[in-house]
């Protein structure tokens, strides 16, 4: 399995108001996605797929959903969203933080597209629907469609291989 990129250091805030850094996730395999809680487009779908991953992946694999709308998605809003979607405590993190830091992490760190100006009413922020598999050293090991079932199966196999 190839290693694509090493993630840069980051410091964000989870749904409980705690700081989360890349170092905090070191030593664990994790799956990341980018969402925002007011999204009426793809976010509910990929969040449902992430919940499915929570059910099928071993408990030591973390799930990390990162907002692309930090002005709206406070830790309290993310906590409510996590609860609505059955996120398991410390296993599935919802992260927010400084807007520029989040955008840089998405585009420069995860190498995913992000457009805050070209969206629609239902989805004013255009972002990737990909899940990103990150290994124990903070290196990106794969990109997977967050919508296609076959891709989720492949992600589960690859995540188990790394854990």
The pLDDT of residue 43: 80
> What number is the average pLDDT over the span 70-91?
93
For 38-59, write each residue's pLDDT tens digit: 777 788 889 999 999 999 999 9
Higher pLDDT, 111 or 12: 12
Predicted local confidence at residue 144, as pLDDT: 96
Over pLDDT 90: what percentage of the chain?
Answer: 71
pLDDT tens, position by position, 97-136: 999 999 899 889 998 867 666 555 555 555 678 899 999 9
pTM here is 0.91
Task: From the options 3.40.30.10, 3.40.50.10860, 3.30.499.10, 1.10.150.80, give the CATH code of 5-162.
Answer: 3.40.30.10
Flag whether pLDDT at 14 surpasses 70: yes
For tokens 């929570």, the residue is 54
Average pLDDT taken over every residue of the chain? 90
Question: Given pLDDT bands bounded at 50, 70 and 90, which one contains residue 88?
Answer: confident
């Amino acid at each position: 399995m190839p290693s694509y990129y090493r993630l840069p250091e980051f410091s964000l805030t989870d749904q409980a108001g705690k700081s989360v850094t890349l170092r905090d996730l070191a030593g664990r395999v994790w799956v990341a996605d980018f969402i925002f809680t007011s999204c009426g487009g793809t976010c509910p779908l990929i969040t449902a797929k992430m919940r499915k991953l929570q059910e099928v992946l071993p408990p030591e694999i973390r799930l990390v959903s990162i907002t692309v709308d930090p002005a709206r998605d406070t830790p309290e809003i993310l906590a409510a969203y996590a609860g609505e979607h059955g996120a398991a405590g410390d296993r599935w993190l919802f992260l927010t933080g400084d807007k520029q830091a989040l955008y840089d992490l998405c585009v420069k760190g995860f190498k995913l597209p992000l457009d805050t100006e070209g969206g629609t009413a239902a989805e004013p922020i255009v972002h990737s629907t990909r899940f990103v598999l990150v290994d124990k050293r903070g290196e990106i090991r794969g990109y997977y469609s967050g919508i296609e079932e076959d891709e989720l199966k492949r992600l589960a196999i690859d995540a188990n291989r790394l854990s």
